[in-house]
């Protein structure tokens, strides 16, 4: 347990992202076990049965990012997840038979041995930690024992962050559910727009060097974008007709109110310094800003609007266009994209974010049919 104590301050230092903390840990591990060439964590999304790349520290070989597959499509990993047993592979070539992108990638990097551990949070399976080495049979019993300790540290660190995020989302959800009673926004809108945000974030990730960790946080925090609407009086929020100037100003104040709520939640959980909490705040603060400076509340333009906000803005508008609202019919994906394109042409929206919607229309259709409004 001495190891845990010595490492704890770094691993739990919430000023850095999980990726940064994993890098520090990897450096330390290399002092004792030089053959660990890569440490990676994939996380599991139970709603979609998807295992997704999340964080990695890769010393040899090229990192694999932005990759996901159904856990049920990998019988061997599925077995580990349900049994809780770690797995050691001493010579990869002898066991890999499948021709998946993942196994081809493993072989191409020259990794020869692997040590894989399923990780859990409160008994619930949340993903895997992978240790890879270019050395054959690098993971003997002694190394396994040491790495298991490090793995539990990584597990703890991720669980801590997840439970912080979950608490935030849960308390926001309580607030939101109250607001939902007032029926301004449906739960399915939030489900859909979070998933659209994830699609867009993934698509623009290479161009903007966004990590998988960033993409997952955008997905998690996107549903909070309008949290400030719980502070808007029903007379304005639920007004059936168009708003007059003073009502519009009241409505626009949902951004400022949302920021206050987020700051309060972050303060209550004492995690203002959590590196990724900035993503949450930026989504709430900037999701009505437009690139040409015509948005609100600050009229920011261009690069002053952070990527997470541009992504959520496009996802939010796209879902509004393709949803049934009392004042408009449902638009098709193509019609909505044409409208978004117009907004790109006018200089308001990020072109790459809008392109991502059009390029992923098949996946978007799947999301639409899975999360339908029933009214
Ligand atoms: Fe909003
Ligand atoms: Fe929205």
DSSP string over 307-341: HHHHHHHHHHHHHHHHS-BTTBPPPPHHHHHHHHH
Domain boundaries, the chain: 2-160, 182-370
d(Cα 46, Cα 149) in Å, to the nearest integer?
26
Average pLDDT over residues 32-50: 94
Confidence at residue 7, expressed as pLDDT on a 0 to 100 scale: 44
Rounded distance from Cα 245 to ligand 2 centre (Å): 21
Rounded distance from Cα 65 to ligand 2 centre (Å): 29
d(Cα 199, Cα 359) in Å, to the nearest integer?
10
pLDDT at 232 over 70: yes
Rounded distance from Cα 178 to ligand 2 centre (Å): 16
Token pair for 115: 């040590």
Of the candidates 186, 180, 169, the one whose C-alpha atom is nearest the C-alpha of residue 371 is 186
d(Cα 121, Cα 319) in Å, to the nearest integer?
33
Of the candidates 301, 320, 323, 307, the one whose C-alpha atom is nearest the C-alpha of residue 356 is 307
Confidence at residue 4, expressed as pLDDT on a 0 to 100 scale: 42
Confidence at residue 266, expressed as pLDDT on a 0 to 100 scale: 77
Residues 133-145 pLDDT 10s: 999 999 999 999 9
Confidence at residue 98, expressed as pLDDT on a 0 to 100 scale: 72
Sequence-distant (≥ 6) Cβ neighbours of residue 276 within 8 angstroms? 17, 161, 165, 213, 214, 217
Rounded distance from Cα 358 to ligand 1 centre (Å): 23
Higher pLDDT, 337 or 16: 337
Q: Per-residue confidence at 272, pLDDT binned at 50, 70, 90?
A: low
Residues 86-97 pLDDT 10s: 999 999 988 877
Angle, nearest 10°, between helix axes 141-181 and 212-221? 30
d(Cα 259, Cα 227) in Å, to the nearest integer?
9
Average pLDDT over residues 285-289: 98
Considering every ligand atom shown, identify the ligand nearest to the alpha carbon of residue 189 and give its number.
2
Rounded distance from Cα 189 to ligand 2 centre (Å): 7
Rounded distance from Cα 274 to ligand 2 centre (Å): 25
Token pair for 129: 């930690």
Q: What are phi and psi of 205, to 5 degrees?
A: -55, -50
Confidence at residue 187, expressed as pLDDT on a 0 to 100 scale: 75
Q: Per-residue confidence at 1, pLDDT binned at 50, 70, 90?
A: very low
Residues 300-313 pLDDT 10s: 999 999 999 999 99
Average pLDDT over residues 159-175: 76
Considering every ligand atom shown, identify the ligand nearest to the alpha carbon of residue 223 and give its number.
2
Rounded distance from Cα 185 to ligand 2 centre (Å): 7
Considering every ligand atom shown, identify the ligand nearest to the alpha carbon of residue 229 and give its number.
1
Rounded distance from Cα 44 to ligand 2 centre (Å): 26
d(Cα 228, Cα 213) in Å, to the nearest integer?
26
Peptide bond into 297 cis (omega under 30): yes
d(Cα 297, Cα 251) in Å, to the nearest integer?
11
> What number does CATH give the domain 2-160?
3.30.450.40
pLDDT at 104 over 80: yes
Rounded distance from Cα 330 to ligand 2 centre (Å): 16
Rounded distance from Cα 129 to ligand 2 centre (Å): 35
Confidence at residue 159, expressed as pLDDT on a 0 to 100 scale: 87
Residues in the chain: 375
Rounded distance from Cα 192 to ligand 2 centre (Å): 10
d(Cα 261, Cα 268) in Å, to the nearest integer?
10
Kindly report the CATH class assigned to 182-370: mainly alpha
SS3 call for 129:
strand
Q: Per-residue confidence at 9, pLDDT binned at 50, 70, 90?
A: very low
Low-confidence winner among 67-76, 169-178, 192-201 (lowest mean pLDDT): 169-178
Confidence at residue 95, expressed as pLDDT on a 0 to 100 scale: 85
Considering every ligand atom shown, identify the ligand nearest to the alpha carbon of residue 284 and give its number.
1
Q: Per-residue confidence at 54, pLDDT binned at 50, 70, 90?
A: very high
Q: Per-residue confidence at 101, pLDDT binned at 50, 70, 90?
A: confident
Most confident option among 103-107, 330-334, 350-354? 350-354
d(Cα 133, Cα 112) in Å, to the nearest integer?
6
Higher pLDDT, 166 or 188: 188
pLDDT at 325 over 80: no
Burial class (CB in 10 A: 0-12, 13-18, 19+), 105: middle
Rounded distance from Cα 54 to ligand 1 centre (Å): 28
């Amino acid at each position: 347990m001495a190891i845990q104590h010595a490492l704890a301050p770094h691993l739990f230092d919430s000023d850095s992202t999980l990726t940064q903390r994993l890098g520090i840990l990897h450096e330390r591990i290399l002092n004792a076990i030089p053959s660990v060439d890569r440490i990676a964590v994939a996380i599991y999304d139970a709603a979609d049965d998807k295992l997704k790349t999340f964080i990695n520290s890769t010393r040899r070989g090229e990192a694999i990012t932005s990759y996901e597959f159904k856990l049920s499509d990998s019988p061997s990993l599925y077995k580990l997840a349900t049994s809780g047993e770690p797995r050691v592979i001493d010579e990869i070539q002898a066991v890999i038979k499948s021709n998946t992108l993942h196994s081809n990638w493993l072989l191409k990097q020259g990794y020869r041995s692997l040590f894989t551990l399923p990780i859990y949070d409160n008994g619930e399976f949340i993903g895997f930690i992978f240790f890879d080495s270019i050395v054959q049979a690098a993971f003997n019993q002694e190394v396994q024992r040491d790495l298991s300790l490090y793995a539990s540290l990584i597990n703890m660190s991720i669980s801590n962050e997840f439970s912080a995020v979950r608490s935030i989302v849960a308390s926001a959800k309580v607030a939101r559910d109250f607001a939902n009673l007032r029926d301004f926004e449906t739960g399915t809108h939030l489900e859909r727009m979070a998933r659209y945000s994830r699609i867009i974030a993934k698509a623009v990730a290479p161009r903007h060097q966004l990590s998988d960790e960033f993409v997952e946080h955008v997905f998690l925090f996107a549903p909070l974008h309008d949290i400030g609407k719980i502070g808007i009086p029903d007379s304005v929020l639920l007004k059936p007709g168009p708003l007059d100037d003073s009502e519009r100003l009241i409505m626009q104040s949902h951004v400022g109110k949302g920021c206050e709520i987020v700051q309060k939640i972050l303060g209550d959980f004492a995690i203002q310094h959590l590196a990724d909490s900035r993503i949450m705040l930026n989504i709430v603060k900037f999701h009505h800003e437009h690139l040409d400076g015509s948005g609100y509340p600050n009229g920011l333009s261009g690069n002053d609007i952070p990527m997470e906000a541009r992504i959520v803005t496009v996802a939010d508008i796209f879902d509004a266009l393709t949803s049934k609202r009392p004042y408009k019919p449902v638009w098709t994906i193509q019609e909505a994209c044409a409208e978004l394109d117009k907004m790109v042409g006018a200089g308001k929206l990020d072109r790459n974010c809008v392109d991502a919607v059009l390029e992923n229309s098949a996946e978007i259709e799947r999301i639409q049919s899975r999360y339908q409004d029933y009214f």
